Chain A
Amino acid sequence: METIGTWLAAFCTLGLMSFAIGENPWYRLMEHIYVGIAAAHSLVMGWENLQNNAIYPIIEDGEFIKVIPVVLGILLYARFIKGQMWLARFPMAVLVGIGVGLTVRGTITSDIVNQINATLVPINSIDNFLIFFGVLTVLMFFYFTRKDTNPVFNYSGIFGRYVMMIAFGALFGNAAMGRMSLMIGRIRFLLIDWLGVAS
Chain B
Amino acid sequence: MMSKIRNIDRRIIYAILLVSLAFPIFAPPGLPFAVGNPARNAYAAIDALEPGSLVVLSFDYAPTSADEINPQAMAVMRHLFEQKRGVRVVTLGFWPSGPIFAEINFRALEAEGVTDGLVYGEDYANFGYIAGAENAMAALATDPTDAFRRDREGNRTADLPIMQGVATGSDIDLLVHFGSGTPGVPEYIRQLVDPYGVPMVAGLAAVSVAGSIPYYQAGQVIGYFNGLRGAAEYEQLYGVAGPGTSAMDSFSFGHLTIIAFVLIGNITYFLDPDRKKRK
Q: Which residues of A does B touch, CB under 8 Å? A: 20-21, 41-42, 45-46, 48-49, 52-53, 56-57, 98-99, 102-103, 106-107, 109-111, 114-115, 117-118, 167, 170-171, 174-178, 180-188, 191-192, 198
Contacts and interface: CB of A to CB of B under 8 A. Distances in A.
B206 A177 contact: yes
B97 to A, nearest CB: 7
Query: Does more than half of chain B's interface fall in helix, strand or loop, or is it mixed?
Result: helix
B206 A178 contact: yes
B129 A177 contact: no
A185 B191 CA distance: 33
A186 B25 CA distance: 12
B275 interface: no
Interface of B: 11, 14, 17-18, 21-22, 25-26, 64-68, 96-97, 128-131, 134-135, 138, 148-150, 186, 189-191, 193-195, 205-207, 209-211, 214, 217-220, 226-229, 243, 246-247, 250-251, 254-255, 258
B191 A118 contact: no
A187 B22 contact: yes
15 contacts: A46-B131, A52-B150, A56-B150, A99-B135, A102-B135, A110-B193, A110-B220, A115-B218, A171-B210, A174-B206, A174-B227, A178-B206, A180-B250, A181-B68, A184-B67
Contacts of A174: 206-207, 209-210, 226-227
A187 B66 CA distance: 14
A41 B148 CA distance: 19
Contact of B22 (A53, A56, A177, A191): A191
